[in-house]
């Protein structure tokens, strides 16, 4: 749980950086949570969504897309436009899933850009 809280803190710190001072966001942001409601990933995602909405003055819509160890939500985000308005909240499953499944509809290394290190 401490790790999740630390990750949430890093997301919030990154959101406050100078890079965000360019009029982003100017429409609602979709925060896709790749695990089911009530999970620790969901709780962190909803807290982050609430704080980002307060900071940005724009709605941040937390949506659960659970299943297949997080790969359903991850595939949804991979297919979304790369415009910064669809963000993924995932767990360490993001890096483990390619080792478990032979074929995925996305490439973890090429289809995503990390916001939080």
- Classify residue 92: in a domain, yes or no: yes
pLDDT at 6: 47
58: Cα separation from own chain's centroid? 16
Q: Is the pLDDT of residue 95 over 90?
A: no
In a domain, 113, yes or no: no
Residue 85 lies in a domain: yes
| Full residue range of the structural domain in which residue 37 is found | 2-100
* The model's pTM: 0.78
pLDDT of 115 above 50 = yes
Domain membership flag for residue 105: no
Looking at residue 1, its pLDDT comes to 60
CATH code of the domain containing 96: 3.40.190.150
**67 domain-assigned:** yes
Does residue 61 carry a pLDDT above 90?
A: yes
Is residue 111 included in any domain, yes or no? no
| C-beta separation of 48 from 14 below 8 A | no
Nearest to 84 by CA among 37, 9, 14: 14
N-term to C-term CA, the chain: 18
Total domains in the chain come to: 1
Identify whether 55 is part of a domain: yes
pLDDT at 114: 87
pLDDT digits (tens, 9 = 90+) for 9-45: 555 555 555 554 568 999 999 999 999 999 999 999 9
In a domain, 117, yes or no: no
């Amino acid at each position: 749980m401490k790790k999740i809280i630390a990750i949430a803190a890093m997301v919030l710190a990154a959101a406050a950086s100078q890079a965000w001072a360019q009029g982003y966001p100017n429409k609602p942001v979709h925060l896709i949570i790749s695990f089911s409601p009530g999970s620790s990933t969901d709780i962190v995602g909803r807290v982050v969504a609430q704080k980002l909405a307060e900071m940005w003055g724009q709605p941040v819509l937390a949506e659960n897309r659970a299943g297949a160890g997080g790969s359903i939500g991850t595939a949804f985000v991979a297919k979304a436009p790369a415009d910064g308005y669809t963000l993924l909240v995932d767990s360490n499953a993001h890096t483990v899933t390619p080792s478990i499944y032979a074929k995925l509809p996305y490439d973890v290394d090429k289809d995503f850009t990390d916001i939080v290190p």
